[in-house]
């Protein structure tokens, strides 16, 4: 009888030990699995985060990221939420908010939200932001001759607006060096973004949805450029990364020919400028202006003084 009790007791102890070892083993395996999955998801988050910043650096005219944070995150993935705005001569306005996902397999960008939509009727056509519904300023590549609805010049209409600040895409008739551009643009307008490159596509049937590439000029509190060379270097670093996996010979040629130039020698295809609408009058009838397209406009209020 005592022997049977001892055997049963030993069996119970052995069972308890097996259960404890099993629980501990499963816990360790689950912990390692969760840790590994979290590491993979975090790696994909970092790739997504860097890609979004790179894209903003090279392809977002007069647009800045106000915040970029993780939402709905777990060890399996989450979302990166990007809030953006525009500076229209000292007037801050909201722009697209992006929600892009990452998980243990990949990260992905919703380029549909980054690409303007197109309104077309018998009387008018223009590109607009999908979220804010505000008109998007359009650049025209000097090597593309035929644009649907022609190349627009909206300077006259803009200068007739009273008590308003605006952003405008000024497209040149040919490339000019940045040193030439600074002499061409009136001092009472802000040069905020340089248009340097875009792919050549058929635009005769409507917008082809091709991104324009260039970079924002960092400004100090006096609205003067801080370090244009650093802005240029940041652009080329992000631009190379963006096109690294693409077999784009024209982009590669552009990088090869311009990466090591001083910023003043870069060939500029156009500029985004901001300022009070009456100040755009000096650009009317200028031979170097092939096209002019207005973007966001904001009424002037007494308590916010325009920068120019």
Number of domains in the chain: 1
Model's pTM, two decimal places? 0.87
Read off φ and ψ for residue 300, nearest 5 degrees.
-75, 135
DSSP class of residue 163? S
Residue 59: band (very low, low, confident or very high) from pLDDT cuts 50, 70, 90: very high
165 inside domain: yes
Please indicate, yes or no, if residue 144 is contained in any of the structural domains: yes
Say if 27 falls within a structural domain: no
232-239 LR contacts (CB < 8 Å, sep 24+): 232/263, 232/266, 234/57, 235/57, 235/58, 235/196, 238/53, 238/54, 238/55, 238/57, 238/58, 239/58, 239/197, 239/213
Structural domain includes residue 249: yes
Q: How confident is the model over 33-51, as a mean pLDDT?
A: 84
What is the reported pLDDT for 107? 81
168 in a structural domain: yes
Question: What residues make up the domain containing 236?
Answer: 116-299
Per-residue pLDDT reduced to its tens digit, 99-157 = 989 888 888 788 888 889 989 888 888 999 999 999 999 999 999 999 988 999 999 99
The predicted model gives 203-230 an average pLDDT of 87
pLDDT of residue 9: 66
- Number of Cα atoms under 13 Å in the Cβ half of residue 10: 6
| Confidence at residue 74, expressed as pLDDT on a 0 to 100 scale | 81
User: Has residue 18 got a pLDDT over 90?
Assistant: no
In a domain, 308, yes or no: no
List phi, psi (to 5°) of 286. -80, 135
Average pLDDT over residues 186-211: 91
pLDDT of residue 289: 97
DSSP letter string over 115-157?
SPEEEE-SS-EEEE-TTT-PBPP----TT---BTT---B-HHH
Q: What is the pLDDT of residue 300?
A: 96
Q: Tell me, what's the pLDDT at 76?
A: 83
- How confident is the prediction for the chain on average, in pLDDT? 89
Q: Within a domain: residue 98? A: no
The pLDDT value recorded for residue 14 is 74
pLDDT of 177 > 80? The answer is yes
Q: Is residue 164 part of a domain?
A: yes
């Amino acid at each position: 009888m005592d022997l049977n009790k001892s055997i049963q007791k030993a069996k119970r102890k052995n069972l308890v030990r097996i259960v404890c070892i099993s629980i501990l083993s499963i816990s360790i395996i689950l912990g390692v699995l969760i840790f590994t999955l979290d590491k993979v998801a975090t790696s994909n988050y970092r790739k997504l985060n860097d890609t979004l910043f790179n894209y903003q650096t090279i392809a977002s005219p007069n647009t800045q990221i106000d915040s970029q944070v993780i939402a709905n995150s777990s060890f399996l993935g989450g979302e990166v939420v990007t809030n953006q705005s525009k500076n229209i001569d000292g007037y801050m306005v909201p722009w697209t908010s992006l929600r892009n996902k990452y998980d243990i397999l990949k990260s992905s960008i919703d380029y549909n939200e980054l690409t303007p939509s197109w309104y077309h009727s018998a009387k008018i056509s223009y590109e607009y932001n999908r979220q804010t519904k505000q008109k998007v300023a359009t650049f025209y590549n000097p090597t593309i001759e035929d644009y649907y609805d022609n190349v627009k010049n909206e300077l006259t209409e803009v200068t007739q607006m009273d008590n308003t600040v605006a952003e405008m895409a000024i497209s040149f008739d040919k490339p000019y060096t940045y040193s030439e551009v600074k002499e061409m643009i009136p001092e009472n307008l802000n040069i905020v973004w340089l248009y340097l490159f875009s792919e050549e596509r058929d635009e005769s049937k409507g917008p082809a949805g091709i991104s324009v590439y260039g970079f924002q000029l960092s400004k100090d509190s006096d609205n003067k450029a801080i370090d244009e060379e650093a802005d240029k270097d940041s652009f080329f670093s992000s631009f190379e990364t963006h096109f690294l996996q693409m077999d784009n010979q024209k982009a590669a040629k552009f990088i090869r020919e311009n990466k090591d130039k001083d910023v003043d020698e870069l060939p500029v295809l156009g500029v985004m400028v901001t300022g009070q609408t009456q100040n755009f009058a000096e650009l009317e009838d200028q031979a170097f202006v092939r096209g002019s397209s207005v973007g966001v406009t904001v009424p002037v209020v007494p308590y916010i003084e325009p920068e120019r």
